[in-house]
Chain A
Amino acid sequence: EADIYQTPRYLVIGTGKKITLECSQTMGHDKMYWYQQDPGMELHLIHYSYGVNSTEKGDLSSESTVSRIRTEHFPLTLESARPSHTSQYLCASSPSLGYQETQYFGPGTRLLVL
């Protein structure tokens, strides 16, 4: 199982603040992902990366941005947080073993924007 870390685990912040959610993995996986999930709802892919300096938008439109400067690090940034951004944010990674990829998830960050 992959070691993938997310910080902070919980964040309460006021509207208009800039926030960065951290995600790191120690397995050398090329592929990394960000999902958003509201309680009891489906997983929505918002960003993914297949390697350094490569980022793509996912299925769900998001006001967040990501960067991939190092293989192990895939931070997500919200320039100006709003209450509609309140959600759980999940980071995942997978090795590049052809098409049979298994994604491994971090513990998630629960974000509450007041």
Chain B
Amino acid sequence: DQQVKQNSPSLSVQEGRISILNCDYTNSMFDYFLWYKKYPAEGPTFLISISSIKDKNEDGRFTVFLNKSAKHLSLHIVPSQPGDSAVYFCAASAYSGNTPLVFGKGTRLSVIA
């Protein structure tokens, strides 16, 4: 059973507009969440993270929102740029710290100029 779900395999957004990528999780023990960005033929790059004690974390154009009651997080990119076109992975970890990160299947974002 998938514990971290990214239900949208792909998303297209116009340059300059907002991109919103969504992620749902089922394990209530998860309390640390991360977003990674991946270009083809490269390794994923860490983007931004959020702890469960917060509901928002911002870093430049990237903001992650966490809704613990809904077990939902989202990544907002404003404004979107063509260079943001990549696959975005959501990941989560649990307090125990003895198990690796759990990744979603990814969402492919295409930013159209």
- A residues with a Cβ closer than 8 A to B are 1, 6, 33, 39-43, 45, 48, 50, 58, 88, 90-92, 98-108, 110
Contacts and interface: CB of A to CB of B under 8 A. Distances in A.
Contacts of B104: 42
B83 interface: no
B40 interface: yes
Interface string B37-72: 000111111100101000000000000000000000
B89 A101 contact: no
Interface residues of B, number: 29
A110 B44 contact: no
A35 B105 CA distance: 13
A106 B43 contact: yes
Interface of B: 31-32, 34, 36, 40-46, 49, 51, 87, 89, 91, 93-98, 100-101, 103-106, 108
Contacts of A50: 98
Looking at chain A's contact residues, the main secondary structure is: loop
Contact of A107 (B32, B42, B87): B42
A104 B101 contact: no
Contacts, number: 61
Nearest to B104: A42
20 contacts: A1-B46, A33-B100, A42-B105, A43-B44, A43-B89, A43-B106, A48-B100, A91-B43, A98-B97, A99-B31, A99-B93, A99-B95, A99-B97, A100-B51, A100-B93, A101-B97, A103-B101, A107-B43, A108-B42, A108-B43
A105 B100 contact: no
A102 B100 CA distance: 10
Contacts of A90: 43-44
B46 A88 contact: no
Given A99-B95, A102-B34, A43 B103 contact: yes
Please name the 7 residue pairs, one residue from A and one from B, whose CB atoms are nearest each other, closest first: A99-B97, A105-B43, A42-B105, A100-B32, A105-B44, A108-B43, A43-B103
